[in-house]
Amino acid sequence: SISQTNTNATTKDDWPVQWMICSFSLWNLVSAINMNPYFLIKEENQYELKIRGQLTTGSAEDLRKRLTKCVKANMPVDPAVLASLDVEGELEACEAKLNRLSASIDEYEGEYTDTEGQRLQARLWHNYLRIQRIPVATEADEERQRNLLNETK
Name the CA dihedral angle for 99, 116, 146, 130, rounded to a multiple of 10 degrees: -100
Would you say the pTM of this structure is higher than 0.85?
Answer: no
Number of domains in the chain: 2
Of the three residues 78, 112, 128, the one that is the final residue of a domain is: 78
pLDDT of residue 32: 53
Name the DSSP letter for residue 73.
T
Domain encompassing residue 94: 85-153
Lowest mean pLDDT among 8-22, 42-56, 59-73, 108-122: 8-22
Q: Distance between CA atoms of 66 and 44, rounded to whole angstroms?
A: 13
- Give the per-residue pLDDT at 153: 82
Is 127 found in the same domain as 65? no
Looking at the fold, whether 68 and 96 belong to one and the same domain comes out as no
Q: Which long-range contacts (CB under 8 A, 24 or more apart) does 21-27 make?
A: 24/76, 25/74
Please give the residue that has the higher pLDDT: either 18 or 87: 87
Q: What is the mean pLDDT of residues 50-76?
A: 95
Given this model, what pLDDT does residue 21 score? 44
Q: Tell me, what amino acid is at 70? A: C
Asked whether the predicted pLDDT for residue 50 surpasses 90, the reply is yes
Q: How many residues does the chain have?
A: 153
Q: Find the range with the poorest average confidence among 22-26, 82-86, 99-103.
A: 22-26
**Looking at the structure, do residues 3 and 64 belong to the same domain, yes or no?**
yes
- 1 lies in the same domain as 73: yes
pLDDT attached to residue 22: 45
Residue that finishes a domain, picked among 23, 45, 78: 78
- Could you read off the pLDDT of 94-138 as tens digits, one per residue? 999 999 999 999 999 988 889 999 999 999 999 999 999 999 999
